[in-house]
Structure 1
Amino acid sequence: MPAHLPAPPAITPDWALFLDVDGTLLDFADAPGDVLVQPELIDVLAVLHGRLDGALALVSGRTLVQLDELFAPLHLPAAGLHGLERRDDGHISRDARPPALDGVLAAARSLAAKFPGARIEDKGVAVALHWRGAPAAEEPLREFASSALIDLPGYHLQPGNNVLELRPDGAHKGEAVVDLLALPPFKGRRPVFVGDDLTDEHAFTAVASHGGFGVLVGPRQPTAARYALHDPAAVRAWLEEGLSLA
């Protein structure tokens, strides 16, 4: 982890805890569907959610459906697709899917088929192009995504860890966190966001502006986070230690 960043303090009962998923709670896999969720982690999240009076949320690039499948039987407060999907107090809101995205998705899959290991993920209102399992596909997929923007007004490219997303303008993880902080059970608490990717920097800045702090997972620099943990295993251990909070 960055040498200049210390480990985060122990979790306290006054926090609002926001957690990224891939690369933070879970170790990466070549395909998003291949990640491993340990039952012990689900138990830890369930207990922490209760001890924080419900002020624990997942904030992820995955869809809410995917999050619920991964962490079943938990249905935690969550923001999916970097904030394009929201769930609070049982209510789910989603943006509409533009018709042009179907053609872009089909063309992306045709291109990825030329690179075994490359993956195209349909996220409803967004499309993710993954090359973790096929490094040679990175440049062709990047070029394709840039050209696809012509057919998708109001969309932009969101880079991530071995992935590039075509996604609507306007929403990001920082905005999702700020929206949740205006609602119970998060309102009035000290916000803490834990994440690993560039997409988490908006959230690090947001929690800092509301009296909280960010925790970076991994060595990436620069960052707006105040603390750091080495990897997802260290995050899981830190969360488990938080079960002893008063």
Structure 2
Amino acid sequence: MSLNEGDRSPPPPRDDWALFLDVDGTLTAHVARADAVVLEDRVRHVLMRLQDRLGGALALVTGRSLAALDALMRPHVPAHAACLHGVQQRPSAPDSRFPPVASTWVEEAVSLADRYPGALVEAHGPCLYLHWRAAPAAAGAMTAFARRFATGVPSHRLHIGRHGIEIRPDGMDKGMAIADFMRCAPFAGRVPVFAGDDPADEPGFVAVNALGGISVRVGEERRDSAARFRLRNPQEVLHWLAEEARGADRQGERK
């Protein structure tokens, strides 16, 4: 990739796309606590219009649990979603394939977070998330805990982000989730397009690139990213997606 290639704006939409979207940092700005995120109604409207235009070939691909995603999206719960980086998928692949994180590890992580006001631990079945966006002083202690966890539970991997660490079963990532969707209707045979904002989205970029698709990084420029296009923030993402939705509206007017 050339030095400037990953800083281009993505191309205009096409009706043969299979669209995959991260949520936090892509459709809405990051906040200190994920449970405090509020999704704007206009985002829901745009997503509904896109789903219609693409014949249902739209999926949200997120680190959130399915329950947390549905709570954020209501009343328009997405028909297709990959949550916990693919551990949970709708309409299939329940997370019962993986045992939950042992309660002793969860209790230790929660006890650690309690020492740093603003730090947060989320336990979702086989996944454990450590957040320190609102408590930067917790970064060292939480990182040390996560590395000890990885040594004690070799079936899991650490995915280190800017403000936290995600611990999830080895072999599951957003790229694999996208590949799963691309093998099935209504996604099969379409051009995959994925937009995401952080290191956990890199496997998704790699996957759509390998399938001849379009990878879009949201946020600051990063030369080590596999994404071939970039938008600066969720506002630019919404403008880009709204162009697609307007295309759906124009199609409806012609019918």
Give the total of aligned pairs: 243
Return 5+ residue gaps in structure 1 as ranges.
Answer: none
For the residues of structure 2 that align with 1:170 and 1:186, how far apart are their CA atoms? 22
One-letter amino acid matched to 2:162: N
Deviation per CA, 1:7-51: give whole Å up to 9, x if none: 111221110000001111110010110112001111110111111
One-letter amino acid matched to 1:132: R
Residue number in structure 2 paired with 1:235: 237
Q: How does 1:48-87 map to 2 (within 5 A)?
A: 48-76=50-78, 77-87=80-90
Deviation per CA, 1:109-146: give whole Å up to 9, x if none: 11111111111111221110000000010010000111
Residue number in structure 1 paired with 2:171: 170
For the residues of structure 2 that align with 1:220 and 1:172, how far apart are their CA atoms? 22
C-alpha contact (below 8 Å) 1:27/1:36 kept by paired residues: no
Pick from 30, 33, 51 the counterpart of residue 32 of structure 2. 30
C-alpha contact (below 8 Å) 2:22/2:62 kept by paired residues: yes
- Three-state SS of the structure 2 residue aligned to 1:214 is strand
One-letter amino acid matched to 1:60: T
Q: CA RMSD in A?
A: 1.6
| Bigger helix share | 2
- Three-state SS of the structure 2 residue aligned to 1:108 is helix
C-alpha contact (below 8 Å) 2:121/2:128 kept by paired residues: yes
C-alpha contact (below 8 Å) 1:217/1:232 kept by paired residues: yes
Percent of pairs identical after alignment?
Answer: 42
For the residues of structure 1 that align with 2:29 and 2:95, how far apart are their CA atoms? 27
One-letter amino acid matched to 1:17: L
- Three-state SS of the structure 2 residue aligned to 1:62 is coil
C-alpha contact (below 8 Å) 2:219/2:231 kept by paired residues: yes
Give 1:99 shift.
5.8
Residue number in structure 2 paired with 1:101: 102
* Alignment TM-score, normalising by the size of structure 1: 0.94
Give 1:153 shift.
3.1
- Three-state SS of the structure 2 residue aligned to 1:241 is helix
Q: Which aligned segments of 4 or more residues in structure 1 are displaced greater than 6 angstroms?
A: none
- Three-state SS of the structure 2 residue aligned to 1:193 is strand
Q: How does 1:129-140 map to 2 (within 5 A)?
A: 129-140=130-141
- Three-state SS of the structure 1 residue aligned to 2:102 is helix
